[in-house]
Structure 1
Amino acid sequence: MKKTNAMRLLDSLNIKYETKEYECDGIHLDAISASLAANINPELVYKTIVLKGSSNTLYVFVTPAEFEIKLKKAKELTGEKELALLPLDSLLKFTGYIRGGCSPLGMIHKYKTFISDLAQLEDKIYVSAGQRGTQLYLSPEDLRISCDGEFADFI
């Protein structure tokens, strides 16, 4: 398996992780579809959402696949008056990743990262490895450490 930036980051920090590969058809790119294709409990799969604030600052939110971000809570966390999804045509430019393969780890720039506090209820969770068809399985605390993130309530 080819190492992704996310895997290289974890390796450099000596953080243990497992990988799970699955068939990705390039059409069904959401986290729920990934969990079904990988035969993983969807409650353990977390998606990476990049939001852009009115100040033009980007923020990364790592949220359970089955939940949506509450923008009011996200605005309170970031101090932004407005937040919107980063347009898909800008995702690669600002993160180094594409839709369906966006990892919260190893982005080309470092962004403030918020991880759903629900992750702390699990021993390990899945996040994208940074390429379609591959998930990383690691502890929420190791994820927090490796992306210099913080646990927060935003769903």
Structure 2
Amino acid sequence: MMKTNAMRLLEQHQVEYQILTFTYDETDLEAAQAAKEVGLPPSRVFKTLVLNGDKTGIVLASLPADCDLNLKALARASGNKKVELLPVKEIPKVTGYVREGVSPVGMKKNYPFYIDHRVTKEEKVAVSGGKRGVLMMLGSRDLIKITNAVLADLCHTDRTRS
């Protein structure tokens, strides 16, 4: 397998990680499906979303696959009045990655990154490896450090699936 920018950056910083691959379905690119494919609970697979803040511009949010993003909570945490998802067609230009292949590691530019505090409940979590069908399992502390993540409560509590 060819290494992605995310993998190269982890290796450059001597961060241990494991690659998990799966066959993805173009009709179901959800993170919960990826978790199922690799045999992990959705709480350990963190999806990364790309958003645009009305004051700060691009911000990233990462949260467990079984959570829905609370836009108001992210806006508060990031110093914005409102945030909205970036249109899918703009994701590659901004991040260097494709939809459902966005890794919080190794983007074209270091954007403000907010990760749900639930990451601290897990010793290791999986995030996109930089392309569809590839996850990287790494230590949650390593992920926070390498991305300069800000911990926040990002999930809708009334919509969190069990």
Given that residues 22 and 38 in structure 1 are in contact (C-alpha distance below 8 angstroms), is that contact kept between their aligned partners in structure 2? Answer: yes
Matches within 5 A, 1:17-96: 17-55=17-55, 57-96=57-96
* 3-state SS, counterpart of residue 43 of structure 1: helix
User: Structure 2: which 5+ runs fail to align?
Assistant: 156-162
Q: Which amino acid aligns with 2:55?
A: S
Identity %: 35
Q: Deviations over 1:21-80 (max 9, x none)?
A: 111122211101111222222221110011101136110111000111212211111111
User: Structure 1: which 5+ runs fail to align?
Assistant: none
In the alignment, the residues of structure 2 paired with residue 28 and residue 66 of structure 1 have an alpha-carbon distance, to the nearest angstrom, of 15
In the alignment, the residues of structure 2 paired with residue 138 and residue 97 of structure 1 have an alpha-carbon distance, to the nearest angstrom, of 19
The number of residues matched between the two structures is: 155
In the alignment, the residues of structure 2 paired with residue 25 and residue 152 of structure 1 have an alpha-carbon distance, to the nearest angstrom, of 31
TM-score (norm 2): 0.92
CA RMSD of superposed structures (Å) = 1.1
* 3-state SS, counterpart of residue 135 of structure 2: strand
* 3-state SS, counterpart of residue 119 of structure 1: helix
